[in-house]
Structure 1
Amino acid sequence: MEFCVGTCAKIDSVGLVKQAEDLGASHFGVGDGPLLFSDPYQYLALAAQQTSTINLGTWVTNPLTRIAPVTANSHATLNALAPGRTFMGIGTANNALRSMGSAPATIKDLDQAVRVSQKLMAGERTEFTWRGETREVEFLDHNGYWYNDSDPIKTWMAAGGPRGLRLAAQTADVICYCLGPQPEMIQLIRREIDKGVADAGRPPGSVKLAGLAWFYQLENGEDWQDAVDNGFGSGPISSCITNSGLMAQHVEELGQPIVDASAKAAMAYLGDPNDPNPPHHLDVWSKYLRGLDPSHRPLITKELVDYWCLYGTPDQLLEKTQLMYENGVDIVSVFISNPFRATTDIDNIGNSIIARL
């Protein structure tokens, strides 16, 4: 079974990727946040030289902080170091753009970026619209000297709503979606993906679902509150932000309590859009994925933790992981949101889950 580990890029912690590979993980992804983390491509280039089997990619980049030809070049360059094991993870951007005080990219932005990048990474000529002008673009090295556009690079698309799911079903190889071990939510997303794939005329099963959950292994005597305090912190709120719009359209299937709880947490974190004096965006995002900020503690309830997180004893972790696979997830994915315990978390993932699958 495929299993992905993700974390924030920290340039001097590349050894985490080798650790994950040795423990049996099939993929490793790193986030792209210019004001938040180290540069992902420098991190992945170093990781490529220290590993031999694990797939490497952005998790995720976006269409705006790097334009499509630059994104395509970065992945094709990585593909020269890790041929056939590079993937491009891309989405509209939650943290990268919001942390700069900007709105996420539009679905139209994402669509163009994906299609242009895919064409370029496959060695093809295509049209690219930038700064109001449309021009033909193509990688000009046809001999594989500067980058690798011969070995295929898969597209992972992060989706968080109906339009994103439809686009991903048309163009992606893998859809990355924030999910926990809850069958009804997994089945809903699986159904939406399969419908989108059929509508796009693609073969059944041609698009995989990577379910992203927040991880913590409980030690003796610990409970869900320790998991929040010591592990995934405010990570579950990211799942609420991503999912609240789609969940509101499926209240009868998911249940009013979890829909309301997720929307409430998302609103409390981001701030009321109608507030005449909203919190400064730098203050909001300075706390993102840095462990638990005390101001976020009241927002994270056991209901949200149970719904969005992969946590528990080793046996519970295994059971929940198997439940995710059984209900339609193809690649179980965990994002390590506390960088200060990443080594411990990866060790626990490898020994408690991957080795026992």
Structure 2
Amino acid sequence: MEFFIGSCAKIDQVGIVKQAEDVGVTHFGAGEGPLLFSDPYQFLALAARDTTSINLGTWVTNPLTRIPAVTANSHATLNALAPGRVFMGIGTANNALRSMGHSPATIAELDDALRVSTALMAGERVTETWRGKERELQFLDPNGHWYNFADPIPVWMAAGGPRGIQVAARYADYVAYCLGPDPEMIKLVRRELDKAVADAGRAPGSVKLVAVSWFYQLRNGETWEDAVDSGFGSGPISSCLTNVGFMQAHASELDPQIVEATTQAAMAYLGDPNAADPPHYLETWAKYLRGLDPAHRSLITKELCDYWCLYGSPDEIWEKSQGMLEAGVDMMSVFLSNPFTAERDIADIGSSILARA
């Protein structure tokens, strides 16, 4: 069974990648946030030396904190350390840029970055317009002394809206979407992705759908509140942030209550920018993916947990994961929203899901 785990890059916690490999995880991605986490490429380079089979990549990088040529080089360099085990995960940088006070990259910027970086990683010459000038780019070491682009580097794209799905359908091998166990949402995303793939002229099934969920295995006597307090914390709000645009665009096909709850949680997290005293972006993101921020506890309801999270007893987790695959997901994924419980969560994923596969 293919299974993906993503985590914030925490440089003194590289050992969790080997732990994930040992329990059967096939892909591991390290998050990028210059003001939030450790540098993902240093983390992944160390992980490459510690592992032998698990696939490694960014989860996710973006077009703006690093220009496409640098992003292509970083992945090709990692590919020299772990030949054939590297993927490039990329998106618009919801957290990486917002935490610096900037808006995420536009879909057009993401589209062009993918055009340039994928061509470079395929060993091609490509034209790029940067700083007002058009120039040709190409890796200048065709013999692979400095980096490796001979082994293909698959593209994973994080998508959260209709236009993002269209870009993913053109470039990506995998598109990752924040999804919980609700079959209605899964089937809707699956339908839109398959349509975009067909419109892009690619073969059916050529772009795999990966469901990114928040995870917690309940112990005896624990409830959903314990899953929030001791597990995924504020993670469900991230699903609200990434999905709100897509859900509003398809509101007529979804439960209006969950659309409203998702919208309210996303807006409450970001705060009102037009308020007399709007929240400072550094304060807004200070506790992002560090477990539960007590200020967000009232925003995280059982309704949101049930919709966006993979949690419960081992039997319930297994049943939910199988239901997600049956609804149209190609690969399961968990993002570890709390680095301080990562080892526990990886062990639980191994026992509740992978050992049963």
Secondary structure of the equivalent of 1:4?
strand
4+ residue runs of structure 1 moved beyond 3 angstroms?
none
Q: State the alpha-carbon separation in 1 of the partners of residues 158 and 134 from structure 2.
A: 26
- Is contact 2:273-2:279 (8 Å) kept? no
Cα shift readout 1:167-201 (whole Å, capped 9, x = no counterpart): 11111110011000110000000000000000010
Alignment of 1:1-357 (within 5 A): 1-357=1-357
Q: State the alpha-carbon separation in 2 of the partners of residues 314 and 259 from structure 1.
A: 29
Q: State the alpha-carbon separation in 2 of the partners of residues 204 and 44 from structure 1.
A: 32
Q: State the alpha-carbon separation in 2 of the partners of residues 94 and 151 from structure 1.
A: 30
Q: State the alpha-carbon separation in 1 of the partners of residues 205 and 296 from structure 2.
A: 39
Q: State the alpha-carbon separation in 1 of the partners of residues 188 and 301 from structure 2.
A: 23
Q: State the alpha-carbon separation in 1 of the partners of residues 181 and 37 from structure 2.
A: 28
Secondary structure of the equivalent of 1:136?
strand
**% identical equivalent positions:** 71
Secondary structure of the equivalent of 2:12?
coil
Question: Unmatched 5+ residue regions in structure 2?
Answer: none
Secondary structure of the equivalent of 2:289?
coil
Shift of 1:329: 0.8
Of 162-171 and 259-268, the range deviating more from structure 2: 162-171
Q: State the alpha-carbon separation in 2 of the partners of residues 28 and 21 from structure 1.
A: 9
- Is contact 2:289-2:337 (8 Å) kept? yes
Q: State the alpha-carbon separation in 1 of the partners of residues 98 and 6 from structure 2.
A: 20
Q: State the alpha-carbon separation in 2 of the partners of residues 245 and 217 from structure 1.
A: 30
TM-align CA RMSD: 0.7
Secondary structure of the equivalent of 2:190?
helix
Q: State the alpha-carbon separation in 1 of the partners of residues 93 and 293 from structure 2.
A: 22
Q: State the alpha-carbon separation in 2 of the partners of residues 252 and 104 from structure 1.
A: 27
Q: Which amino acid aligns with 1:162?
A: P
Question: Unmatched 5+ residue regions in structure 1?
Answer: none
Q: State the alpha-carbon separation in 1 of the partners of residues 100 and 245 from structure 2.
A: 23
Q: State the alpha-carbon separation in 1 of the partners of residues 353 and 61 from structure 2.
A: 28
Q: State the alpha-carbon separation in 1 of the partners of residues 172 and 276 from structure 2.
A: 39
Q: Provide TM-score, normalisation by structure 2.
A: 0.99
Secondary structure of the equivalent of 1:12?
helix
Q: Provide TM-score, normalisation by structure 1.
A: 0.99
Equivalent pairs, count: 357
